[in-house]
Structure 1
């Protein structure tokens, strides 16, 4: 990996923050995407335009995958690919919240090698490169080592505790909390503020890629709901949910989850 990949992502994320914060979330023009794909604002598009010009120009051999760019299968032929969510938590942005984030990653042969999650309104910049550890605003961070589910506080949407998701219809005993940005949830687990996070519905790669590496470099584990390691730059860029936590708690949650009998069950 070129030594400059992580600084490139950090600089681009900070520039993204400058652009996004020029818009007032509640006043930014907003549209609903077709087929119930969620909202998009003029800030999402402005950030995406900057990133799509800046990052491929700096790395012309890399592919491109972004929530706000029409997918191009050419990315599947590239060894390395940018995986970008210009604003993760668009609904929060539009409501005037401070919990939305920019999520930028580079994957190589299906594994993330550099990642940044940046919350400009909270001045929080989470970053990692493969083998280099994870940081928050330049300081090392570590995931927790909780040993039992009853001790744990886990970020998850309420439907994740539906008994149908769990063996013997017994949801785990952890304390549940929630944040709307999936990228921020993963970063909070890497930071050690929460012990784990899970989402059991199919999840887009751009929400997850940067957080996957940051959490792993912070000593945590991250997988899909079946316990399989996440791979990125797939033809269909959706993953089979995400379970992320310290090693012991991650294993406990995976063992407790039931096989997904109904892919449409909300989580």
Structure 2
């Protein structure tokens, strides 16, 4: 591995390699259930952290599976990773789980790669995919286990078809790949859940924002980033308007 590899190529290589590691752990047959998820998280995280320290020693790192430190807050460049997004789906042998590797520069998701190892696909901000024609009616992604009431409300207003799916990365990449048109999430996330998907989606020309339309900002002291909208640009205004109309009462 050359130290001269650019950030986007590095992100893609790391995500793909971590994905292969996770498949190897799962295929080993040595773990099952929660133990499988825990083992996968730990092994993939150790690889990513060690590789980033070797390849980008001056950058900060934030990972779901590592103890956070304030050191990253002093850095302009911070890698934000989720070694295994969708632990449940991974443990169940499904394909809708992902590996996220992103680089935030001055709080903006500039570089990202999302590997979908179960599909043998990696999408990256360094090689944006061409958007496919929109679906008619539009398709809107929701959690396969607990669809958010706000997303269901917006889908009804739009006349959109609900598509249940697993991890955040899988949902976001389904929009990038043209399998769906809208991913609206309001149920709570952290920076590692959406930084890489946001970078990949933005590079592909999709609308990316908070659920109220404000920009996503990264490398915050508080890593909680509870809501997200990734959708086709021509649908963004309507989705944001209907989301603002929603009331839990």
Same fold (TM over 0.5): yes
CA contact (8 A) 1:143 1:189 kept: no
Query: Cα distance 1:31–1:193, how it changes in 2: closer, same or farther (>3 A)?
Result: closer
Which ranges in structure 1 are unaligned for 5 or more consecutive residues?
Answer: 33-38, 135-139
1:115 aligns with 2:112: yes
Correspondence for 1:41 among 38, 41, 59: 38
Partners of 1:174 and 1:40 in 2: CA distance: 33
Further displaced range: 7-16 or 71-80: 7-16
Q: TM-score scaled to structure 2, two decimals?
A: 0.87
Deviation readout 1:180-207 (Å, 9 max, x if unpaired): 1101111111121211111112211111
1:141 aligns with 2:130: yes
Shift of 1:230: 0.7
Tell me the residue number matched to 2:220.
Answer: 234
Query: Cα distance 1:53–1:260, how it changes in 2: closer, same or farther (>3 A)?
Result: farther
Tell me the residue number matched to 2:76.
Answer: 79
2:217 is paired with a residue whose SS is coil
CA contact (8 A) 2:34 2:91 kept: no
Correspondence for 2:53 among 39, 51, 56: 56
Shift of 1:261: 6.7
Structure 2 counterparts to residues 1-267 of structure 1, below 5 A: 4-24=6-26, 27-28=30-31, 31=34, 40-129=37-126, 134=128, 140-142=129-131, 144=133, 151-157=137-143, 159-162=147-150, 171-258=157-244
1:239 is paired with a residue whose SS is coil
Partners of 1:188 and 1:228 in 2: CA distance: 23
CA contact (8 A) 2:150 2:246 kept: no
CA contact (8 A) 1:143 1:220 kept: no
Alignment length (residue pairs): 242
Shift of 1:24: 2.3
Shift of 1:14: 2.2
2:212 is paired with a residue whose SS is coil
Query: Cα distance 1:163–1:143, how it changes in 2: closer, same or farther (>3 A)?
Result: closer
Partners of 2:66 and 2:108 in 1: CA distance: 21
Shift of 1:240: 3.3
CA contact (8 A) 1:117 1:125 kept: yes
1:155 is paired with a residue whose SS is strand
Deviation readout 1:43-85 (Å, 9 max, x if unpaired): 1100100110011221111111111001111111100001000
Shift of 1:247: 1.1
